Amino acid sequence: MKILKSHLHSLTVLCLLVAGTACIRFHHIPSTGQLGTHSVSVRPQCTSTSTRSHRRTEQDGTSRITHYEFTCGDVAILIRDNALTVNGKSYGTLNEADAIAIDYGKVRVNSQVRAEVR
Express each pLDDT in 36-51 by its tens digit: 999 999 999 888 889 9
Q: Where are the domains of the chain?
A: 30-113
DSSP tag of 62: -
| pLDDT beyond 80 at 92 | yes
Residue 2 predicted with pLDDT over 80: no
Q: Are 35 and 94 in contact (CB under 8 A)?
A: no
Compute, in degrees rounded to 10, the torsion defined by CA atoms 12, 15, 19, 22: 150
pTM: 0.74
Residue 99 buriedness (CB in 10 A; 0-12 / 13-18 / 19+): middle
Q: Which 3 state secondary structure label does DSSP give 117?
A: coil
